[in-house]
Amino acid sequence: MISVSVRPRWLWASLFALVAALLLLLVWLSGRYDASQVQDRLERDALEVVGTLRSGLMRNNQTLQATFLVAGRSRAEQTEAWALSAERFLLDHRETVRMEWRSPEFKTLLQANSPYKSPVFSQYSHDTYLSELMQTCATARRLGTAAFSPSYFVPMPNGMGMEVMDVCLPVMGLGAQAAPELRGYVLVSYALQDILDNLIPNDLARNQDISFTEGDGTRLAMRGAARRTLRNFTAQQLLDLPGNTLVVRLESWRDAPGLFPNVLTALVMGLFVALMVILWLLSVDMRRRLKAEHELADALAFRKAMEDSLVTGLRARDLQGRITYVNPAFCQMVGFSADELMGLSANAPYWPPELAEEIMRRHAVRLAGNSPPREGFESVFMRKDGSRFPVLIIEAPLINAQGVQTGWMSAFLDISEQRRVEELSRASQDRLQATARLAMVGEMASLLSHELNQPLAAISSYATGSLNMIKSGLSGPADVEQAMQRIALQAERAGKVIKSVHDFVRRRDQARERTQPQALLDAVLPLINLQARKLHVQVQVRVAEGLPEVWCDRTMVEQVILNLARNAMQAMDQPGVRDRRLTLSVQPMAGDEPRCLMFSVADLGPGIAPDIEHQLFQPFFTTKAEGMGLGLSLCRTVVEQHGGTLQYAPNAPRGTVFSFGLTITHHATID
């Protein structure tokens, strides 16, 4: 019934669409034809304008070549003849604004300005554009004729300006041996605006704008006043000149054809409107009759599509508990078809036998209406193959359109996958916690073994030195006491390293304090000097005066400076390095970071090879046979925890500079 009633509607719609398409196509084609006629006329005008401009400029070039052939004349004759010819040429050609006679070395010998306007190059010398002029003259010599330069803007004293284009004509003569010889250049400057005003006839510029434009559409000069219409017609042609190409753009002042370009089209459109009204009146009754049927069909189709697409099982029961409806998701969930379930009330086949009594009691409570509606509870169902699975059941009263309860509607969710995911998540969480603890232990052990090498090595060196002095009998109690103090100081430093690394691994906030930059260097200089004497390295310290205190974890920052200094000295410990200088410097950070101090360690070693730059800060990467590869990684982590960045750059004349910034205390300032 629905398909039979729908077919006439589609027939009416097809008729409407066909008639409308035909008539609108007729109107559109008529408008397109008239518009194409306007555009074709504009294109022809553009070609005529380009031809006129090219002919006028070429005639000027021929006049120049015929006028300024100075071969065989003396310099005085050339000067007098050139001045008269230039004056006459400027009078006859209002589009020219200046003429120059230049020597083969491109020096200005004579010049003449147009009598119709003020000198163009009074504010800016023509030699400002010397490179472009020389390039144009080189092109002219290569082509053997006059060449045009690209246009350029010349400011004027009145605050305005003009777009100017130069023409260069090389003047040739015969030399001593009757060979062609360059006698000089004639430069003629054209104003693009005057070219449009004087070379284009008035009949071509009467109904349209003519302009020179750049490739992106920027106007260089224009003749005519721009007037906006409902639709502007434009045409562009290239004015190809020797050495330069200009874009000529025409914009028509003619209005675009209207919606009804002629009487016939207007009549056809009127007939079309009348026909549409008649067809609409005939289809009103049919639309009213089909409306109710379509609404019912749409509602049924939407409900069926929604029920079939649900992954939640739905079950409807009447007031006596008999099943009146199940959706496909429920049938797929329990493995029974809808025919096997319809009409059942008690002892449903999807109830597990061991839970049948409990489900029956809950079923009776639900039917009595003593339990709150829409309250979910969990249960266990049995599939047709006997397997059990947990479900979440949500039940609510089923109310009809009159507001009367006709039964119960139940929604079922299979939560077996949810239970499995929860178990996997708990197991994964336990494994992650165990792995994290093992990684923490390994990280702490690696960091401790790396950072304790330096203070322990210092203790060993001081102890060995003390024993040697005691055995030799050259030391007194003061020397032994000083050595013991150094050993105690390094032992205390080892304790601080253990505590700092311990806090670092546990990601705790380190104990930060206000510290003088000189104090950070003084704390590690004895160890640096000790290794420097072994490696024959000269240590230089450069600290600016009046530096404020910095806010940092003193032990960890000292360790960063010591690690960078040790790496720098080991980099210079190579046979090819003779100038072994290590420079430690502290300076205020320039630029946008005035509240930081820059610490830098510079060496004169071979530098960092490009093939290892990308993995320089990776943990456990090292180029040393006895290294662990944790030094630079730890240094970068410590600097980043202080809010800075560890950077490196090539040193001059060779070597590498490592640098990082530390924030100064809030109350300090840098003079």
Each residue's pLDDT tens digit, 77-91: 667 778 888 889 989
Give pLDDT, residue 227.
Answer: 60
Q: CB of 207 within 8 A of CB of 225?
A: no
Answer yes or no: is pLDDT of 541 > 70: yes
Window from 183-197, 482-496, 533-547 with minimum mean pLDDT: 482-496
Window from 207-211, 365-369, 636-640 with minimum mean pLDDT: 365-369
Q: Which two tokens stand for residue 461?
A: 């060196």
Size of the chain, expressed as the number of residues it contains: 671
Amino acid at 213: T
Fold of 419-508: Helix Hairpins (1.10.287)
Each residue's pLDDT tens digit, 99-150: 998 888 888 888 899 988 888 888 888 888 888 889 999 998 988 888 999 9
Give pLDDT, residue 608.
Answer: 85
Select the highest-mean-pLDDT range: 297-311, 364-378, 473-487.
Answer: 297-311
Give pLDDT, residue 72.
Answer: 39
Select the highest-mean-pLDDT range: 227-236, 363-372, 471-480, 652-661.
Answer: 652-661
Continuous segment of H or E residues that includes residue 393: strand 388-399
Dihedral-angle region of residue 45 (phi above 0 means left; psi in -120 to 50 means alpha; beta otherwise):
alpha
Give pLDDT, residue 585.
Answer: 94
Answer yes or no: is pLDDT of 440 > 50: no
Answer yes or no: is pLDDT of 631 > 70: yes
Domain boundaries, the chain: 2-44+259-304, 314-414, 419-508, 511-663
Give pLDDT, residue 17.
Answer: 79
Q: How far is CA 647 from the centre of its chain?
A: 25
* Paired strand residues for 90: none
In 506-593, where does DSSP find H-type helix?
Answer: 517-535, 554-572
Taking the C-alpha atoms of residue 671 and residue 664, their distance in angstroms, rounded to an integer, is: 13
Give me the helix-helix angle, 631-641 and 416-451, nearest 10°: 110
Window from 160-169, 396-405, 406-415, 611-620 with minimum mean pLDDT: 611-620
Answer yes or no: is pLDDT of 508 > 60: no
Which CATH code fits 511-663?
3.30.565.10
Please state, in angstroms and as integers, the Cα–Cα distance from residue 136 to each residue in 70, 145, 525, following that order: 21, 11, 68
Give pLDDT, residue 5.
Answer: 46
What value does the mean pLDDT take over residues 459-479?
74
Dihedral-angle region of residue 343 (phi above 0 means left; psi in -120 to 50 means alpha; beta otherwise):
left
Window from 223-227, 480-484, 598-602, 641-645 with minimum mean pLDDT: 223-227
Give pLDDT, residue 164.
Answer: 92
Q: Residue 247: how many CB atoms within 10 A of its CB? A: 17
Answer yes or no: is pLDDT of 1 > 50: no
Please state, in angstroms and as integers, the Cα–Cα distance from residue 443 to each residue in 27, 429, 436, 501, following that order: 81, 21, 10, 10
Taking the C-alpha atoms of residue 499 and residue 216, their distance in angstroms, rounded to an integer, is: 68
Amino acid at 223: R
Q: CB of 651 within 8 A of CB of 657?
A: yes
Q: Residue 401: how many CB atoms within 10 A of its CB? A: 5
Answer yes or no: is pLDDT of 205 > 80: no
Amino acid at 364: A
Amino acid at 327: N
Report percent pLDDT > 70 for the chain.
Answer: 82
Q: How confident is the model at residue 343 (pLDDT cuts 50, 70, 90)?
A: confident
Collapsing DSSP states into helix, strand and coil, what is residue 643? Answer: coil
Q: How confident is the model at residue 167 (pLDDT cuts 50, 70, 90)?
A: very high
Q: Output 493 or 434, whichever has higher pLDDT.
A: 493
Give pLDDT, residue 400.
Answer: 82
Each residue's pLDDT tens digit, 381-425: 888 888 888 888 888 888 887 888 888 888 888 888 888 888 887
Give pLDDT, residue 41.
Answer: 86
Q: Whole-prediction pTM value?
A: 0.40
Q: How confident is the model at residue 260 (pLDDT cuts 50, 70, 90)?
A: low
What value does the mean pLDDT take over residues 617-623?
73
Q: Residue 509: how many CB atoms within 10 A of its CB? A: 8
What value does the mean pLDDT take over residues 437-442?
49
Give pLDDT, residue 71.
Answer: 41
Give pLDDT, residue 671.
Answer: 39
Answer yes or no: is pLDDT of 4 > 50: no
Give CA torsion, residues 307, 312, 318, 321, to 10 deg: 150
Q: Minimal CA–CA distance to 560: which of 633, 665, 664?
A: 633
Q: How confident is the model at residue 601 (pLDDT cuts 50, 70, 90)?
A: very high
Taking the C-alpha atoms of residue 483 and residue 464, their distance in angstroms, rounded to an integer, is: 10
Candidates 3.40.50.10890, 3.40.30.10, 3.30.70.580, 3.30.450.20; correct CATH number of 314-414? 3.30.450.20
- Cis link prior to 653 (omega < 30° from 0)? yes
Give pLDDT, residue 574.
Answer: 84
Give pLDDT, residue 23.
Answer: 73
Each residue's pLDDT tens digit, 95-111: 999 999 888 888 888 88
What value does the mean pLDDT take over residues 552-569?
88
Each residue's pLDDT tens digit, 48-58: 889 999 999 99
Collapsing DSSP states into helix, strand and coil, what is residue 157? Answer: coil
Answer yes or no: is pLDDT of 279 > 80: no
* Mean of pLDDT over the chain: 79
Answer yes or no: is pLDDT of 187 > 80: yes
Close Cβ partners of 667 (under 8 Å, ≥ 6 residues apart):
none
Answer yes or no: is pLDDT of 621 > 50: yes
